[in-house]
Homo-oligomer: A and B are copies of this chain.
Amino acid sequence: MQGIQASEIRELLKVADAPGVISFGGGIPDPTLFPTESMADAMTAILSDPVRGPQALQYSVSEGDPALRAWIAARSTAEGAPCTADNVLITAGAQQGLDFLGRLLIDRGDAILTEWPTYLGALQAFAPNGPRPVELGGGNWMGEGIGDGPAAFAYVVPDFANPTGATMPETARDHLLAVAQTHDFPVIEDNPYGALRFEGIASASLLARDIARCGHVDSSRVMQLGSFSKILSPGLRVGWVIAARSVIDRLVLMKQASDLNAPRLNQLAALALVENGLTAQIDRARDSYGRKRDAMLSALLRHMPPGVSWNRPEGGMFLWLTLPDGTDTTALLPHAIEAGVAYVPGAAFFPNRDVTNCLRLSYSLPAIPEIEEGIARLGRVLGQHHAQNDHHQADG
């Protein structure tokens, strides 16, 4: 199952490179936003420094660069989740945080509570530990389905979720933390997209809420994952975990055994860039992705056949399309690719792959004219399929 899902996405990413195909598939940042010039300047400054140059190319501590950890802790504190560098581990993207937390927290057969749909990469990271995915939410948030056994954790992407683009309401955040308190399980808050808000007011994070509840990050049950991938560069592979020091201490041993340490040069370069203009970089990304979202929403209104619905994400990179019952977006994908447009079938994001009539669209990578054209192509494919379906029904 895991292999099928993984190869499905991987094949899609390959198709995304094929000439003539407009891809709404991968959750890929727009490379025209990458700060290549300031990155080169930062690298040169670091490497030509007689102290930092050799440090950048040497082994370093498994926790991560102390100054970068302090910067991340200060940013978290400013955003309402006070912590110190000791609460931060640098990872190879937020993905490695998922891998580590899955290995740390899941015993085979444990329930893990996730939204359905949820981030496919999280399901893949957790899968080797043999969890039993249980749907979180569904309008009740009462912890149903956990059963008698222990729940390893709840996993959520509260801001502009992958794959739906949805934001978790404040009441749901508080409810989840209350359920976690009652049933005594940890909560993994995955937050790669939070900075990319186009409109509306940010809600306090689960980590901030839980620290406010319990008084200190070292007593918190929330482990928050972050990353520079969506706001600076995914190619650096610099992400982090913020958690209670007792958790970080165990993750540091795991980091050491897994790959010793994150590349110091990448950490120092990320730090140099965020210290010298993260706000401007984020503003550029928000402006660009916001306009792309608008273009996609406008194109969807013009091109989608009746019976198709979608949401209006307040930030991030994704939008979720729901097609009429009985539609199979996995079966439709080859037709879409033939028509020159790609997406990810929604089933990939459900642990049991039983919801077939949804699909994920990412608007971050294509240019606005491509978004217009790609949605027009998708509209034609869905319209044809709809007509065929009606025809089959008339036949039957």
What is A's interface to B at a CB cutoff of 8 Å? Answer: 2-3, 6-7, 10, 13, 26, 28-29, 31-32, 34, 36-37, 39-40, 43-44, 47-48, 53-62, 91-93, 95-96, 99, 103, 121, 124-125, 127-128, 229, 233-237, 253-254, 256-266
Instruction: Assess whether B237 is in contact with A57, with CB atoms less than 8 Å apart.
Output: no
Which residue in chain B gives the minimum CB-CB distance to A235? B57
Q: In the complex, what residues of B have CB within 8 A of residue A6's CB?
A: 253, 256-257
Which residue in chain B gives the minimum CB-CB distance to A233? B57
20 contacting pairs across A/B (C-beta < 8 A): A3-B253, A13-B61, A28-B59, A31-B57, A34-B54, A36-B48, A36-B53, A36-B57, A39-B57, A40-B44, A43-B44, A43-B47, A55-B235, A58-B233, A58-B234, A59-B229, A59-B235, A236-B265, A237-B262, A258-B258
Instruction: Assess whether A258 is in contact with B99, with CB atoms less than 8 Å apart.
Output: yes
Q: How far is the CA of A258 from the CA of B258 in the complex (A)?
A: 10
Instruction: Assess whether B48 is in contact with A259, with CB atoms less than 8 Å apart.
Output: no
Q: In the complex, what residues of B have CB within 8 A of residue A121's CB?
A: 256-257, 260
Instruction: Assess whether A237 is in contact with B253, with CB atoms less than 8 Å apart.
Output: no
6 closest cross-chain pairs (CB), A and B: A31-B54, A92-B259, A57-B233, A40-B47, A57-B235, A36-B53
Which residue in chain B gives the minimum CB-CB distance to A13? B61
Which residue in chain B gives the minimum CB-CB distance to A265? B235
Q: In the complex, what residues of B have CB within 8 A of residue A235's CB?
A: 55-60, 263-265
- A124's contact among B2, B95, B257, by CB below 8 Å, is which? B257
A234-B57 CB under 8 A given contacts A37-B48, A253-B2: yes
CB distance from A128 to the nearest CB of B (A): 7
Q: In the complex, what residues of B have CB within 8 A of residue A56's CB?
A: 36, 235
Q: How far is the CA of A289 from the CA of B7 in the complex (A)?
A: 45
- A257's contact among B13, B39, B99, B261, by CB below 8 Å, is which? B99
Q: In the complex, what residues of B have CB within 8 A of residue A125's CB?
A: 257-258
Which residue in chain B gives the minimum CB-CB distance to A263? B237
Q: How far is the CA of A103 from the CA of B40 in the complex (A)?
A: 37
Instruction: Assess whether B48 is in contact with A40, with CB atoms less than 8 Å apart.
Output: yes
Which residue in chain B gives the minimum CB-CB distance to A229? B59
Q: How far is the CA of A127 from the CA of B99 in the complex (A)?
A: 16
Instruction: Assess whether B257 is in contact with A93, with CB atoms less than 8 Å apart.
Output: no
Instruction: Assess whether A34 is in contact with B48, with CB atoms less than 8 Å apart.
Output: no
Q: How far is the CA of A128 from the CA of B58 in the complex (A)?
A: 27
Which residue in chain B gives the minimum CB-CB distance to A56? B235
Q: How far is the CA of A54 from the CA of B31 in the complex (A)?
A: 5
Q: How far is the CA of A225 from the CA of B235 in the complex (A)?
A: 23
- A57's contact among B2, B34, B53, B127, by CB below 8 Å, is which? B34
Q: How far is the CA of A363 from the CA of B315 in the complex (A)?
A: 54
A28-B259 CB under 8 A given contacts A48-B36, A253-B3: no
Q: How far is the CA of A207 from the CA of B26 in the complex (A)?
A: 37
- A53's contact among B34, B48, B96, B265, by CB below 8 Å, is which? B34
Q: In the complex, what residues of B have CB within 8 A of residue A253's CB?
A: 2-3, 6-7
Q: In the complex, what residues of B have CB within 8 A of residue A37's CB?
A: 47-48
Q: In the complex, what residues of B have CB within 8 A of residue A92's CB?
A: 92, 258-260
Q: In the complex, what residues of B have CB within 8 A of residue A47's CB?
A: 36-37, 39-40, 43
Which residue in chain B gives the minimum CB-CB distance to A237? B263
